[in-house]
Structure 1
Amino acid sequence: MTFDDPTPGRNEVVVEMKASGMCGSDLHYYRGDPVAMMKARGEASLAARGIDPEAPVIAGHEPCGVIAAVGPDVDGRRYKVGDRVMVFHYDGCGHCDSCRTGWSQLCDDGVTTNGVLIHGGHADYIKVSDTQLAHLPDEISFIGGAAMSCGTGTAFGAMTRLELSARDTLAVFGLGPVGLSAVQLAAAMGVEVIAVDINAARVAKALAFGAAHAIDGSKLDAVEEIHKLTGGRGASCAMECAGGEIAKQQAVRSTAPWGRIALVAIGGNLSVDAMKDLISKQRTVIGSYTFSFAGMGACSRFIAGHGVDLDLLFSDRWRLDQAEEAYVDFDKQSGGKGVFVF
C-alpha cells in the first residue's frame, strides 16, 4: 500500500526519517489486530480526533530524523527545517494533567500512538505535532535517537522511578534491547549490575555492555546466585524486562530488605506471597510504563554526557524496501534489535 507524502497543518511538523527502530511490541500488531492494544484506551475520543481505528497505518514508533517542513504556528525559535529530532511517539489531548506533565500516554481522553493508530516512522516521512519533538544531541547518532524513542527511554524511565544511584546493586532480568539498555545506562552511572537471561548469547553480550556479573538462568537459580554475589543480602534494586511470571517473581525475591523492583515488560503476572515476599521485607514494587516527554530529554542528555554508545544495541540494519524480510526475520526473535536506516 502507498500513501501520499504528508503536509504539515497547524502546529505540525514533517520529519524526514533517518532511522526507525523495530520494537518487540511491534510484533503484537504484526501478528494480529493492529489496534487491539490501544483501541481500548482511546476508542471514545478517536472520532473526535478524526481517527479511523480501522484505517491502514504505517508502522513504527521509534522515529528519528531531520525536520523537513513546519506548519503554521510552529515556533521557529524552537524548531526549524534541518533540526535533528527524536519523536515522542505518544500524543494526547494536550490539556489534562497527564498531558501537561509530559505523560500523554496516560491521557484522560485516550492516547494516540504513532505506528498504532496514527502513522509511524517506517516511511520516508512522518507528520507529528510539534509537542512530540525533542532535539537530538549531536553526540548521538540517528539510530541511537531511534532507540531512545522507545526501548532505551523505557529503561531510563524505570531507572528514574527506582531512583537508582551508584550506591545500588541492580539486577536486570531479561536482556533484550530494554534490558541491555538498562545495563549500559546503569553501568555508566557507576552501578554494579547483575544481568540475567536464559539465552546464553544475551548473557555474554551483557558483560560487553558493562554488567559486572551475568547469570544464565537456564542453568543456574538466578535468585540464589544473586544472593551469593551480594554476600547473602540480595540486590538493592531489580528491573524485570523479560515479560514472564517467573522473571517477575525472581526480580522480587532477588532483592534485599527494602529492595525496589520495577516491572517494565508487558506479559506475565506477578504472583508472590504478600507477607513473605513483600510486607516482611519492606520491598517496593513499581510499575514503570515507558517514560515521559521530559524523561526522553533527560535520557538524551545523560547519554550524550556519558558517551554511551547506543549503536551497539542494533544487530540488524535494514532498508525500507526490505521491510517484509525484516519483519519475517524479526518475528523469529532469534537476533537482537533491528532498525530501518534511510
Structure 2
Amino acid sequence: MQVLIVKTSSMGDVLHTLPALTDAMQAIPGIRFDWVVEEGFSQIPTWHPAVDRVIPVAIRRWRKNWFGSETRQERCDFKRLVQERTYDVVIDAQGLIKSAALITRIAKGSKHGQDAKSAREPFASWFYNHRHEIDKQQHAVERTRELFAKSLGYDKPESYGDYAIAARFLSHLPADAGQYLVFLHATTRDEKHWPESHWRELIELMAPSGLKIKLPWGAEHERLRALRLAESFPHVEVLPKLSLQQVAEVLAGAKGVVSVDTGLSHLTAALDRPNITLFGPTDPGLIGGYGQNQHSLISPEKSMATLTADAVWAELQKVI
C-alpha cells in the first residue's frame, strides 16, 4: 500500500505525526509513505523507516511572491512531483484550507481527513472523499494516530505512541554523550522566553555538577543571546550553526534538556531524552511534549519570570 501524507508544518506538528506512521507500519505489512512537508522541516520525515519519498513544499516562501516567474515554475514542479504517483490513500493530517486546497486537492488517490467538527478549519473537509470524526479531547499525537487508523482501516493501538526515530541517532552518539545538558533557550514569542538572568542563574547552579552545557541557536539574535548566556562560564559551549539533523544528533547525546516552548522541545521528546519544558503564557494541554521522559513546569501566574532557577534545577536533578 502506498500512502501520501499531507502534513506540512510546524516542526512540532510534523514530529507529532511520526507515531501514526509507526502504528500503520506495524498494522499493515509493506505499507510505504510519501510525505509533503514544508522545505524547512524536510529532514524530519526521512528519519522514519516507513517513508520512501519526501516532497518539499514552500508555501511560506511562495506566498511572498506568488505570481513571480520563479515561484510559478516551482509550483509547477511541485504539482508534477505530487501527481507522479496515484496513491491508495491520501491522508491530510493538516486540517487547514490552505493545505487542502493547494496540496490534497491535486493529489491522486482516495482522500481522507478530519470531518468539519474535528478539523482545525472546518471547510478543509470539503476537499476529502472520506471524512473522519476525531476526538479533539486527546493529545495531538493521539488525534493523528486515530486519523491514520480510521483512514487505513485498523484499530488504533492502546499502547504509547512510538516515534521510531531514536534508534537512528542512538546508534552513533557523539563522543561526549551523557556528559552534557542542552539548554533550548530560543522561541518565537517574547512572552515565551525565560529571562536571561534566570538562565544564567541556572547555569551557575549547575556548575558543581561537572556537566557541560551546550547552547544551540538558529537566527543571529539567538546566537547573540547564547553568547550572553555563556559569558564567563567555562562549562558552557555556544554551538556553531547546525542543520536540524545536527541538532538532533546533539540532543540525542544529551544527559538532559531544559527547554522553553519551542519546536525543538518536541524533537527532544521524539528522541526520548529527559526534558524539562518551561511554560508561562502557553498551556501544554493537548499539544505539550509527548513522551515518557517529558516534564512540564508551568507558571501559575502565566509568566515565565515567576519560574525560578531553583525550581528548574530541583526538577532537573530528578531526571538526570
**TM-score, normalisation: structure 2:** 0.32
Greater RCO between the two (CA within 8 Å, min separation 6)? 1
